[in-house]
Structure 1
Amino acid sequence: MMRVFGRAISMLLLSLGTTSAHGQALVSCGASEGRAYVIEGGLVRPGKGGWISDQITDGKFEVVKRGAEYDIHYYDATRRSYSARQDDSATVIALREAPTELVILAVYPSRGAGGTTEVFQFRPLDREVVWMQMKYGGLIKKTSVFHARCD
């Protein structure tokens, strides 16, 4: 039963993606918008912390699978690609693989002079992602929750 279930997941993910030299692109997502809680301290002056609107308008990211390993590839406004694993030394693992969702954890130990943790909940059938980003240890500490449409 588990073998059949695993094949169903693989077939679903393969049907969504494209292949490149970097691996199998499973899903690609665009601009993200959401809310963030900013913590006072560092560059955030007293009285300026709290809830804010947060967005990433020109960015794009995709989940890539090469063999058994996952990666998150980011594209900036110039469409330059960055790999979470290779460029930021992140640990990237799948927390859940199912036909209706793929949950990815990415931990960046030294991004932004501190650290960053991201959790992505991709919903391929609905072509969307809900994701959380927590920045800690740097000059701006904040936790954001975003939503983006995916191809």
Structure 2
Amino acid sequence: MPLHIYVDADACPVKDEIYKVALRREVAVTIVSNSPIRIPIHPLLARIVVGAGFDEADDWIAERADVASVVVTGDILLADRCLKAGAAVLAPTGKPFTAASIGNAIAVRAIMADLRAGGDAIGGPPPFAKTDRSRFLSALDETLGRLLRR
């Protein structure tokens, strides 16, 4: 079964890195977004533009994720759905979501949402850094290598 990378692309800061690793490894990539995003012209690269409805990109990706998929997303709930389908899931920072870590991530997400709803000013994640980009490149290459060997 050939590998495939699905990218939750609307806010993904590492699309160029995904193209670089995927083309070197000869793995197909589908960029999924709510609005058109330019992608390089290459037979392994595809773009899907879904409707603007809530979670349409997430639903499209989750319906296709399987054991031959790598999903790139920062969305914890989408990561959970894809893990349950057997996919490998990476955040744009290179952090892998795993069956062992997703429960904690969902719990922290819920706590932060409650704090924000209560009016607490808690800030957001740290700015995306050069080290995040480097860590992502390494994590994607390692993940694809591991999946291609099995």
Q: Same fold (TM over 0.5)?
A: no
Between Structure 1 and Structure 2, which shows a larger proportion of helix residues? 2
TM score, norm. by length of structure 1: 0.29
Larger radius of gyration: 1
